[in-house]
Structure 1
Amino acid sequence: MSTTVTRRPFGAAPDGTPVERWTIESPGGPGASEIAVLTYGGILHACRVPDRDGVLGDVVLALPSVDAYAADEAYLGALVGRYANRIAHARFSLDGTEFRLPANEGTTTLHGGPDGFHRRVWAAAGFDDADRAGVVLRLRSPDGDMGFPGDLDVEVTYSLDRNGVLGIAYRATTDRPTVVNLTQHAYWNLAAGGPVDGHELAVDADAYLPVDAAAIPLGAPAPTAGTPFALGGKLVDALRDTHPGIAAARGVDHCFVLRGGRTTRPRPVARLADPGSGRVMETWTTEPGIQVYTANHLGPPHGPHTAVCLETQHFPDAPNRPEYPSTVLRPGEVFRSATEYRFGTAAR
C-alpha cells in the first residue's frame, strides 16, 4: 500500500533493555500521515496529521527520551494494563479468592499498578500488507504480576491504512481466570500545541459514572442531560467549576457510558475538533466506555489542560462491581478490543 515501516534504536530502558522506535508512514490523504511507536510502554510517540491547509502537525504529547518516560507518572501515550483505570482499595475477588494489588494512588490501584504495562519493553514485529501497515507488540505478563492472577499473553497492533486511519487492536489470553481492561493513553492536542480549552468535544453517551474524592465510581450511571457532562461543545465549558463533580477535579476525569454497550465492530463514539487548525478526530471503538480526561494534573513540560485523553475501555472498578460489564477473562477465551482514530478537516 506504499507505506513505509521503519525501526530505529531509541535508547534503553532503566534495566538496560534496548528500546526501538517504529515509524509507519502512510501514502497521504486526509488522515494521519505518520505515527511512531516505542517498544517501551507501547507508547504512541508521534501522530502527524494535516490541518485544513495541509500543514502537518504532531497531535499527541510526547517526551524526548526513554529516561523521561521512565520518570513520567502521567502514562503519556502509553499502553495501559493489566487493568486500565482504577480498582478500589487495591483488591478484588474472583471465584471466591481475594487478590491484593499494589496501591499507587492513595489506597487505589491505578492503571495496573506502579509497574504496569507502561513500564515494560514489548517485543515488536512490523508488517505491511495490501490494506494497512504497522507494528505488532507482544508481552507476557506472568502469574502474580502486580498481584493479578494467571499468565496473560497480550498482543497489541498499531496500524495505518491507506486513508490514514490509526487502528489499535488488542488481543489477550490467559491460563487462569483473571481480569483484563486495556487502553491507550494518548494525550491529544489537535492544535499541535497550546491549551485545548477551545477544542470541541462530543461524546455519544447519555450517562456517565459519578465518582467520589478518590475517583472511584459511586455506583449506578447518572444522566448527562442538564450537566456539564453532556459534552457537545467547547471544552472550556466543561473546565469551568460549574458542577461538583467537575469542581473537585478542576476538569473532567470521568468514564462515559457509551450508547449501545460493547460491540463486535468499532462504531463512532466521540468527535474532537480544533476550530483553529480545522483538524477533526473521530474515535471509533468496540468498548462500552470512554474515560475523558482533560489533563487536569499534567506536569512539565506540558502543563494542565494542554491535551485531552479519550481512553476507550471497560468501566473503572468493574472487578468489584458485578452490575458493570464483566472484565473477567477465563482460559480458552480470547479478549479482543479495537479502537480507531479517524482524522479529517473542517472548513472555517
Structure 2
Amino acid sequence: MKINTKKITVPNQEWKLFTLVNDNGMEVSFLNYGGAITKILVPNRDNTFENVVLGYKEYEDYIENPVFLGALIGRVAGRIQGSQFVLDGTTYTLPANNGENHLHGGPTGFHSVAWESDAFETENEVGVNLSHTSNDGDGGYPGNLTMKVTYTLDNSNNFSITYEGSSDQKTVLTATNHSYFNLSGNLKENILEHEVTLDSSSFVELDEDLIPTGKEIAVEGTSFDFRNGQRIKVGAESNNPQNKVASNGYDQNFIFDDNKKEKAIVRDYTSGRELVVTTDQPGVVLYSSNSMDESLNLVEGSSRKYLGLCLETQSSPASLNHEGFPGIVLDKGEKYQSKTTFSFNLINK
C-alpha cells in the first residue's frame, strides 16, 4: 500500500491531491479542497481498472462545483426549508442557495474550503486525516465546530469515510459525501441499468421544492421498493408522483430498517462490478442525477442526465421541522461520530 501526493495549482490557491493505492491496484484520489473525491479505480470482471466516479477534467472546476461532485457536505447535508431553523428559541437564518432553501451547507459549506491534511500508513490501511474548524456564524450556523474527516483504504478494497465533530455551542450537524458512482467504468454507460438494493421499507415524501413534507411513505408496491433489488430505470420511467417531483428519478431519503449489515448494494452486471455500502447512519439519500445537464466538463466527456448515482448516508434535516425523523442537533461538547464504508467487489455469478 502507498500514498501519492501531488501539488495542484489553481487560480490564487494551491491544493494537495492524494492518491491512496492498495496492494490490489485499487486507487482512490481526492483533493484536500472540499475533500472532493476525483477518481476511484477498481477492476471489472476482466481485471481492467477503470474510474467509477464522476470527476472534473479541470481541477479548478471544483471551486464552483455546482453539483457537489465528490465533495464533503456539511454542516447539514440536504435541504433546510426556508433557509432557517429554530434552536432553543433562537432563529438562525442561512443563505438560500436552492431557491428559497438552504442546500448542503450553503455556498461556504465543507465543500468549499481547503482542509488541513495529514497522511498516514498502518499495517492494514493507508489514509489521510482532513481537519477543519468552521467558526461560529459560518454559513449562519452557531458554534465553533471542529471537524475531522478520515479517508482510509485497505487491501480488501474497502474505502471508508469517518466523521468526527464537536462544537462549543449547541448546533446542528449531519455530514456526508457526494460522490457520483458509475460502475460501468470510465462513464461508458449511464446508470439506468444499475441495480440497487436498499435495506429500507419507507422513504420521506418530498414536495415540489424537494422539501420533506413530514410524511413517510411505505415502499411496498411502488417504484421505491429496492429491498430485493431494482434497476434505476424503473424510477426514471415511472409515473409515481414522487419520481416526477424528482425530475423522473430519485432524490429521496430512504430510512434504513436495520435488518441487514449491508445497507445499500449497487450492481452493474455488464462490468461485473459491485458496490456495497455499510454505515451507522439512519438513512441514505438516493440521487440518480436526474437534474444533471450537459454543462459540466468531466474527465471522460460532458455530463448528462442519469450519469451517476449518489448514496448520501446521513440523518434527516426534516427533523428540524417535523417529529419522528433522525435528529441532527449536536449539543455543546457532544462528540459527533459517523462512519460509512464503500466496498468494491465483483459480482458472484
TM class, shorter-chain normalised? over 0.9
**Alignment partner for residue 291 of structure 2, among 290, 297, 303?**
297
Per-residue deviation, 1:64: 2.3
**Alignment partner for residue 13 of structure 2, among 17, 30, 33?**
17
Per-residue deviation, 1:298: 1.4
1:190 maps to which residue?
A: 183
Provide the TM-score with structure 2 as the length reference: 0.94
Query: Does 2:205 match 1:210?
Result: yes
How does 1:26-41 map onto structure 2 within 5 Å? 26-28=22-24, 33-41=26-34
CA distance in 2, matches of 1:185, 1:53: 28
- For residues 215-249 of structure 1, the C-alpha deviation after alignment (integer angstroms, 9 at most, x for no partner) is 11111311000110002211111211320110222
Do 2:169 and 2:333's aligned partners in 1 also have CA atoms closer than 8 Å? Answer: no
Do 2:75 and 2:175's aligned partners in 1 also have CA atoms closer than 8 Å? Answer: yes
Query: Does 2:333 match 1:335?
Result: no
**Alignment partner for residue 146 of structure 1, among 133, 139, 154?**
139
CA distance in 2, matches of 1:108, 1:318: 15
1:157 maps to which residue?
A: 150
2:55 maps to which residue?
A: 62
Equivalent AA in structure 2 for residue 245 of structure 1: Q
CA distance in 2, matches of 1:139, 1:24: 21
How does 1:27-176 map onto structure 2 within 5 Å? 27-28=23-24, 33-176=26-169
Runs of 4 or more above 2 Å deviation = 316-323
Unaligned runs of 5+ in 2: 297-301
Equivalent AA in structure 2 for residue 71 of structure 1: E
Provide the TM-score with structure 1 as the length reference: 0.94
Q: CA RMSD in A?
A: 1.4
- For residues 53-78 of structure 1, the C-alpha deviation after alignment (integer angstroms, 9 at most, x for no partner) is 11101100000233212232100000
Query: Does 2:225 match 1:227?
Result: no
Equivalent AA in structure 2 for residue 132 of structure 1: E
Query: Does 2:260 match 1:246?
Result: no
Partner of 1:276: helix, strand, or coil?
coil
Do 2:157 and 2:345's aligned partners in 1 also have CA atoms closer than 8 Å? Answer: no
Per-residue deviation, 1:347: 4.8
Do 1:251 and 1:294's aligned partners in 2 also have CA atoms closer than 8 Å? Answer: yes
The percentage of counterpart residues that share the same residue type is 33
Query: Does 2:321 match 1:320?
Result: yes
- For residues 166-197 of structure 1, the C-alpha deviation after alignment (integer angstroms, 9 at most, x for no partner) is 00000001000000010000000000212111
Partner of 2:233: helix, strand, or coil?
helix
CA distance in 2, matches of 1:103, 1:96: 21
Q: How many residues align?
A: 337
CA distance in 1, matches of 2:316, 2:195: 24
Partner of 2:311: helix, strand, or coil?
strand
CA distance in 2, matches of 1:65, 1:151: 33
CA distance in 1, matches of 2:216, 2:318: 13
**Alignment partner for residue 236 of structure 1, among 233, 236, 259?**
233
- For residues 311-348 of structure 1, the C-alpha deviation after alignment (integer angstroms, 9 at most, x for no partner) is 00011332223432221111221000000011111256
Per-residue deviation, 1:138: 0.5
